[in-house]
Amino acid sequence: MSAANESHGIQFSKPLAAHETPIPGVVLYDLPVHGDNRGWFKENWQREKMLSLGLPDFGPVQNNISFNEKAGTTRGIHAEPWDKYISVATGRIFGAWVDLREGPSFGTVFTTELDPSKAIFIPRGVGNAFQTLEDGTAYTYLVNDHWSADAQSQYTFLNLADETVSIPWPIPLEQAELSDKDRAHPRLADVVPMSPRKILVLGADGQLGRALKATYDGDPRVEFAGRREFDLANPASYSARNWKNYSAIINAAAYTAVDKAETPEGRRAAWSINVSAVAQLARVAVEHRLTLVHISSDYVFDGSVEVHSEDEPFSPLGVYGQTKAAGDAVVSVVPRHYIVRTSWVIGEGSNFVRTMASLAERGVKPSVVNDQFGRLSFTEDIAAGIRHLLEAEAPFGVYNLTNDGDPESWADVASSVYSLTGHNGDDVTGVTSEEYFKDKDAAPRPAHSVLDLSKLRATGFTAPSGRVRLEDYLGQEVPTP
């Protein structure tokens, strides 16, 4: 074999390729190495090519090199609180990786030899160990967080000689070069698994926040913050948290007083919560590579078309809609984002359905708008859809999310509420928006709020029909005609 084809056992010119391993998220890569009689060259890290193979865009910020003078030098097993991309600069190593993350794959092992023609991606919490097979071996690794003494305190360790994982070291450990610290690490039975990063839910006291609490009930990975725990208008809220401990933010907080937003005081409050605070969250998400889930509204449209797709240009009619559109535009520049657009939200707390049920109980015969059309969105289904997007790792972007079923007017919904609560649906009189809002200080509303749900369905999620959810919400079956 000529030097142009092979040098020190390195296979030259093999194609770039990715190989899954038994440990979730750990991926082994073949790297093209180009050589001749002078030596060799490789692209150790090429972002566009690696992303096209599915490597996470993990945002490395530090590059480290470990030089090992003698064969048999053994280091590990260390699980660190960041992601790593590891390759060999010169020599060969035997690598061993053990999943030390909390979850069903805890204790799973993968081993392989690495030379300059291979690289491996190791996600946060996977234990990492190397044994050099040649003198003068050096390996290099990219990490997506800066080392610090505080970060090191979050490491999880496993003993190199643990009998449970039983790593087949090529050079027996009694003949290898180890540090005293590595010899003293605990066995697997005594290892406390590394906890996953948390999801932070903001606006936990609102209708959607309460539904998210129910959806994630008992899940220690999810942290909830109401206004007292996280004041969106206070800059200190954004600097007081260690964002390295989080993977995602669900922003369920918003200013939603549609009519009050048209007043000077309301306008300032709407822009503060729906835009300025969202910009702060977007900055945090970008700087710390977090996923930002943001709740949008049908009010970003003027309602001039009957069904709205995710890519329809903004055309808000009032201040509330303008602030929601501005917030959407801010979030859209976050690399990892889900904008969840919904309409006619119904959940725990004050809402249209509860108001109509109360009027029915009191014998009131209301006039209700009959020329605005949409679908109800029950918060339990919005929360379930958000969880689905995160757990399915759906492509980032904008998703419409309402309940399914035929579009209805507000008067249709009110009539159904009356019927479902044992009253006469004909007690509801339909009127036009012009008639209803005459001589009232009210914000303009979109006439058509129906959102196209096909993009969300394609990810595997379909919410129940609004009619079924309305029956459940009112705790009563539809009366038989």
Range 8-11, long-range pairs (CB < 8 A, 24+ positions): 8/115, 9/92, 9/115, 10/35, 10/40, 10/115, 10/116, 10/117, 11/117
Q: Which phi and psi (to 5°) does residue 32 adopt?
A: -65, 125
Distance (Å, whole) CA 45 – CA 62: 13
- Asked if 388 contacts 395 with a C-beta cutoff of 8 angstroms, the reply is no
End-to-end C-alpha distance for the chain, whole angstroms: 87
Scan for tokens 């081993």, then name that residue. 111
Q: Which of 78, 294, 308, 388 is catalytic?
A: 78
Distance (Å, whole) CA 161 – CA 76: 10
Distance (Å, whole) CA 143 – CA 85: 7
What the block records as the tokens of 79 is 């699980």
In this structure, the chain runs to a length of: 481
Distance (Å) of CA 333 to CA 113, 285, 329: 40, 10, 7
Distance (Å, whole) CA 80 – CA 100: 10
Instruction: State yes or no: is 141 an active-site residue.
Output: yes
- Interhelix angle 264-271/319-331, rounded to 10 degrees, is 10
Residue type, 357: A
- Asked if 80 contacts 124 with a C-beta cutoff of 8 angstroms, the reply is yes
- Asked if 401 contacts 252 with a C-beta cutoff of 8 angstroms, the reply is no
Instruction: State yes or no: is 246 an active-site residue.
Output: no
Q: Which of 29, 139, 141, 299 is catalytic?
A: 141
Which of 232, 242, 324, 323 is closest to 281 using CA atoms?
232
Alpha helical stretches, state H, 10-85 = 47-52
By CB neighbour count within 10 A (0-12 exposed, 13-18 middle, 19+ buried), where does 192 fall?
exposed
Q: Which phi and psi (to 5°) does residue 318 adopt?
A: -125, 180
Scan for tokens 């074999």, then name that residue. 1
Distance (Å, whole) CA 478 – CA 85: 58
Distance (Å, whole) CA 462 – CA 357: 27
Residues forming the active site? 78, 141
